[in-house]
């Protein structure tokens, strides 16, 4: 014979707030996660280069070894980002959408400096709940010179000839600070020699 009787459930004792906070970290739920990665950009007189690793990870877990951190926005401008992958995807999609709207309205691509200001405005608009991204925008300006724009979390930015961001940013920055002045001087000299040779060839053609 099977009999069923209603028995009162055991009451759960409420956990003190201090214990809950200690379990979930200070302040409770944390919406951010750092998926790691490092991006580096170097600009010269007539070129700009951006590189980044392709690993997507959380802590000691590697989700992918073939995930690019760089998105091309126009034929002369790209963005490289590390940090939280969800925020990176959202930010890059927003930028590509704004570029597409600009193309439809003006039938031309926005310049690198214009995109640098656009990115600053987007980051600042999210200042109360910032994108967890470390961004470098690299482009060729209207004169064909390379430019690298580095940003903080809320959109403040500066233009430089080289920059690094991400989990390995401090290590790479130290190397760049030590080596880049010599490399930049060498590349600038090569660029000047190239221009002089082109001008000499033009003069020779005119004389002929």
Could you tell me where the beta strands, DSSP code E, fall in the chain?
38-43, 48-52, 56-58, 61-64, 70-74, 77-83, 133-140, 146-151, 157-160, 162-166
- CA-based Rg of the chain, rounded to a whole angstrom? 25
Q: Which of 5, 7, 38, 173 is catalytic?
A: 38
Burial annotation 141-171 (CB, 10 A radius, 16+ → b, else e):
beeebbbbbbbebebebeebbbbbbbbbbee
- Distance of alpha carbon 206 from alpha carbon 201, whole angstroms: 9
Q: Give backbone dihedrals phi and psi of 10, rounded to 5 degrees, phi first.
A: -65, 130
Mode of pairing for the β-strands spanning 146-151 and 133-140 = antiparallel
Residue 71 annotated among the catalytic residues of the structure:
no
Alpha carbons 172 and 142: distance in angstroms, whole number: 29
What are the φ and ψ backbone dihedral angles of 34, each rounded to 5 degrees? -100, 115
Task: Tell me how far apart the alpha carbons of residues 92 and 148 are, in angstroms, rounded to a whole number.
Answer: 17
The label of the residue with tokens 């600042």 reads 124
Residues labelled as active-site residues: 38
């Amino acid at each position: 014979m099977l009999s069923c009787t209603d028995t009162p459930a055991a009451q759960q004792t409420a956990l003190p707030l201090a214990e809950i906070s200690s379990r979930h970290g200070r302040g409770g739920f944390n919406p951010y996660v750092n998926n790691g990665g490092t991006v580096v950009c170097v600009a010269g007189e007539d070129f700009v280069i951006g590189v980044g690793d392709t690993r997507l990870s959380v802590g000691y877990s590697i989700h992918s070894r073939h995930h690019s951190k760089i998105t091309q926005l126009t034929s002369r401008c790209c963005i490289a980002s590390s940090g939280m992958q969800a925020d990176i995807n959202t930010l890059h999609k927003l930028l590509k959408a704004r570029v597409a709207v600009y193309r439809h309205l003006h039938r031309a691509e926005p310049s690198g400096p214009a995109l640098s200001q656009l990115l600053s405005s987007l980051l600042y608009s999210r200042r109360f709940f910032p994108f967890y991204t470390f961004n470098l925008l690299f482009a060729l300006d209207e004169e064909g010179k390379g430019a690298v724009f580095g940003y903080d979390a809320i959109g403040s930015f500066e233009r430089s000839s080289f920059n690094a961001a991400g989990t390995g940013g401090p290590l790479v920055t130290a190397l760049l600070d030590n080596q880049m002045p010599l490399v930049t001087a060498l590349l600038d000299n090569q660029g000047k020699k190239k221009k002089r040779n082109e001008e000499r060839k033009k003069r020779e053609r005119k004389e002929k």
